[in-house]
Structure 1
Amino acid sequence: MGLVIENVSKSFARKEKEITFALSPVNLQVEEGEFLSIVGPSGCGKSTLLRLVAGLIPPTSGRLMLDGQEIEGTDAKRGMAFQKPTLFPWLTVEENIAFGPRMQGKKKPEEIERMLELTHLTKFRKAYPHELSGGMAQRVALVRTMINEPEVFLLDEPLGALDAFTRMQMQDELLLLWKEKKNMMLMVTHDVDEAIYMGTRVIVMAKAGGSILRDISIDLDYPRKRLDSKFLSYREEIMRLLGVDQDEESA
């Protein structure tokens, strides 16, 4: 049945009698196994939408449904990863990944081993977070969320703090995890190329009022080539919707 977002809006009271709408009424449906990229200017409501799906904040109006059940508060079915890795500094890589299953009374040793191998973390299993690079720590954070097998994986700029080369490597790592687990993915990003490279669909949001400008299906096979003419065509379309002059961008 997937995720259904029906006439959902979110407003905040900043001062007495002053109300700011972070998100105008949004209607959206996401099927199981889709990878939805969400792009838009800063302050357009991207992260607000993600937090609503996570159940971290309630909607002002409308409703959110997952598999026919209304979303009310947080739930293990919805896992979230943030821009900065939130690891327990006193636990090793392996212990961080095993933390969720252990709290649920599930040891999952074979699954943990497989995920360590899949993400090239096996030789770092006994390392502590302070001994890891930024990209490696983020990899651990992503695996730690994925090992809990959420139906919906929510990513709020998960690669935004990484350098360009590490970021591209992590994009491929994340796609490997998605293909392995077949989760529904919702990812907020400011990087248009990243949105196209990873998403089966790209949602473009407007700055004013937090509404959806366009829902674009990305008809490209994986792995994708960033210099492919069709890739560049999608890029041009999304940049135009965002009001970005690509000649100015490259200047």
Structure 2
Amino acid sequence: MSHLQITKLSKQFSGNVVLREFDLTIEEGEFVSILGPSGTGKSTIFHLIGGILAPDNGSIQLMGKEINGKRGFISYMPQTPSLLPWKNILQNVLLGQELHGKKDPERAMDMLKKAGLEAYEKAFPNELSGGMKQRAAFIRALLSPQSMICLDEPFSALDELTRLEMQKWLLSIWEEYRRTVLFITHNIEEALFLSDRIIVLSEKPAKVKAEFNVPYLRPRNESLLLTDDFLKWKRKIHYALTGGPNE
């Protein structure tokens, strides 16, 4: 049984068809990235999986259970960290657990330590850098009890060096816990570096235009980004996005 199974999903807004018979399958522990042009419905897919929106047609199943229009089944991390300014960092990372009636401060402190945030447990979000806020937000997502994490361009607002550091950190933490992740990004290099599989979307109404199994073994390090093979794969995915020449 697949972890997430989306079948013939359709959604429109005031006659504007965003998704039409969209299919997607994700296996347990898999890291899958979605790439596509702006406005193709990537965030809409997340809102449908998370139950913020209900599909017009089709089925969303998580571990065999249909979750159409139902909330609370995934852990969601948006583009901005969305930390509560009146709570300190420890309280923020425990929020997902708190909403489900069970907190584990000891585990939270262990993860804050691994993220280099142990000295900031009592600090408030306005005292942290952008990268530190993103680490705290991801720890909150990991600590939440849901079996699947949806990450919506979490590093898009960071500068290039901070973004690379966050990608490496995310890989190190994910490889330890191996939660099922669906990741939205506009960055081909980021998708290749992080993912097991990459889904390329078409223009609206969005369908799966291409799919790539990333060939690189784990663990990965940044030297991979400079190899000729990595550039070849980056070019191949770029052409799938833009409709350029095939290799």
Could you say which TM-score interval applies, normalised by the shorter chain? over 0.9
Equivalent residue for 1:7? 8
Equivalent residue for 2:229? 230
Q: Is 1:62 paired with 2:61?
A: no
Residue type of the alignment partner of 1:5: I
Show CA shifts across 1:194-224 (max 9, x none): 0111010000011242111111110101314
CA distance in 1, matches of 2:145, 2:215: 27
Residue type of the alignment partner of 1:217: N
- TM-score of the two chains, using structure 1 as the length reference: 0.91
The one of 154, 172, 180 equivalent to 2:176 is 180
Which runs of 4 or more aligned residues in structure 1 lie more than 6 Å from their structure 2 counterparts after TM superposition? none
Do 2:97 and 2:145's aligned partners in 1 also have CA atoms closer than 8 Å? no
Do 1:149 and 1:181's aligned partners in 2 also have CA atoms closer than 8 Å? no
CA distance in 2, matches of 1:55, 1:208: 21
Q: After alignment, is 104-113 or 212-221 more displaced?
A: 104-113
Q: Shift of residue 240 of structure 1? A: 0.6
Residue type of the alignment partner of 2:11: K
Q: Shift of residue 48 of structure 1? A: 1.1
Show CA shifts across 1:129-173 (max 9, x none): 111111111111111121113211001111111111111111122
SS at match of 1:8: strand
Equivalent residue for 1:219? 215
CA distance in 2, matches of 1:135, 1:76: 26
5+ residue gaps, structure 1: 14-18, 247-251
CA distance in 2, matches of 1:221, 1:129: 36
Residue type of the alignment partner of 2:210: R
Residue type of the alignment partner of 1:233: K
Do 1:53 and 1:71's aligned partners in 2 also have CA atoms closer than 8 Å? yes
CA distance in 2, matches of 1:231, 1:74: 39
Q: Is 1:110 paired with 2:106?
A: yes
- Taking a change above 3 Å as real, the CA distance of residues 227 and 187 of structure 1, as seen in their structure-2 partners, is same
- TM-score of the two chains, using structure 2 as the length reference: 0.92
Equivalent residue for 1:127? 123
Residue type of the alignment partner of 2:8: N
Show CA shifts across 1:166-189 (max 9, x none): 111111222223222221100110
Do 1:33 and 1:183's aligned partners in 2 also have CA atoms closer than 8 Å? yes
Pairs within 5 Å for 1:1-251: 1=1, 2-13=3-14, 19-222=15-218, 223-224=220-221, 225-243=224-242
5+ residue gaps, structure 2: none
Q: Shift of residue 101 of structure 1? A: 2.2
Residue type of the alignment partner of 2:176: E
Counting aligned pairs with the same residue, the percent is: 37
Do 1:202 and 1:215's aligned partners in 2 also have CA atoms closer than 8 Å? yes
- Taking a change above 3 Å as real, the CA distance of residues 65 and 231 of structure 1, as seen in their structure-2 partners, is same
